[in-house]
Amino acid sequence: MAQLVQQHGNVSVHQLYRRLETVGKGAYGSVHKGIHIPTGSVVALKIINLDTADDDVEDIQREVALLAQLRDAPNVTKYFGCYMDGPRVWIVMEFAQGGSVLSLMKASRDGCIEERYVSVILREVLVGLSYLHKVPVIHRDMKAANVLVTSVGKVMICDFGVSALLATTSSKRNTLTGTPYWMAPEVVQTVPAYDTKADIWSLGIMVYEMIKGSPPHANLDKFKVMDLIPRAKPPRIPEGEGSKDMRDFVALCLKELPSERLPADELAKTKWIKSVAKTPVAILKDLVLRLHQAGPRASLAEPLPWEEEEERE
């Protein structure tokens, strides 16, 4: 386990970082806003419970190694290090004040984001994806919840490695790689092996999700959806909703055959993305402002079960 941790003599993580409010929870643990005590800079603290089998620890080691390898990747959350804290590991990452695109959707009317913002978000996501795909890393869980926006409008892909991590861990976590509604047909079928083009499909679903407020088949149970995806015609954004260029972009992502989907580099050259070539990311500050005006979400403010235990001790 030692190679997982950055060695800082006997310095405890609690001397370096102070945890502020909880900003997200998942099966694997929780994400918090935090402060780096020596500098006062704001960070994201992802705290994973390690009360699991040894192979889970290996998965976390793999994720951390991947994050470290991607330190220079554009538009990917920056990784600052990780620390042991009893049965938990703290992974320290760049913090995004605007939260996820999903939280920005929830603060918007009808839960949808206007196309003028969606195109800029996509342009930025494509920069990150094209870098990842050359590594090659498959994200495996592209969706609005896994794209973050900072207070200045910078867009970052997050939570990859975690999808890979969750796929191989014990059954109490995700047994599937990714989230069914965004999954490519070949991922649901698991044969043949899938490649980076699986992310391109998910990207198309993500545009659909931002424009429509939820992914296709969101009203169905996830097992029904997995049965449906390989058999249904690829989803399309209906005519009259958004521009033709955007609908064409979605159609280029959502092709049944992976080989027919355009790679990230090529998608960046499409008419729709080219149309916002000169639009600064600062336009996304409108969305962040909207979120802050909506006020905090109380559901994430309460302490986690293990925090309550520690407070009682």
Domain 2-95 and domain 101-291, same fold? Reply is: no
Q: Cα–Cα distance between 63 and 194 in angstroms, integer? A: 20
Residue 219 CB neighbours (<10 A) = 8
CATH, range 101-291:
1.10.510.10
Judge whether 198 and 184 are in contact, CB under 8 Å.
yes
Which phi and psi (to 5°) does residue 132 adopt? Answer: -60, -45
> b/e per residue, 93-115, with b = 16+ CB within 10 A?
bbbbbbbbbbbbbebbeeebbeb
Domains of the chain, by residue range, sit at 2-95, 101-291
Domain 2-95: CATH class, spelled out: alpha beta
Residue 302 CB neighbours (<10 A) = 9
Report the catalytic residues: 141
In one letter, which amino acid is 135?
V
Q: How many Cα neighbours within 13 Å face the side chain of 181? A: 17
Cα 54 to Cα 25, 58, 59, 160, 170, distances in angstroms: 23, 7, 9, 21, 10
Judge whether 32 and 23 are in contact, CB under 8 Å.
yes
Residue 162 CB neighbours (<10 A) = 26
Q: Cα–Cα distance between 281 and 86 in angstroms, integer? A: 40
46 a known binding residue? Answer: yes
Judge whether 28 and 162 are in contact, CB under 8 Å.
yes
Q: Cα–Cα distance between 265 and 243 in angstroms, integer? A: 21
pLDDT per residue as tens, the chain (313 positions): 444 555 445 678 999 999 998 887 766 678 899 999 999 999 999 898 877 655 566 767 777 888 888 888 999 999 999 898 888 889 999 999 888 999 999 999 899 999 999 999 999 999 999 999 888 888 888 999 999 999 999 999 987 654 443 333 322 233 355 678 999 998 888 666 788 899 999 999 999 999 999 999 999 998 899 999 999 999 999 999 999 999 999 999 999 999 999 999 999 999 999 999 999 999 999 999 998 887 665 444 455 554 555 555 5
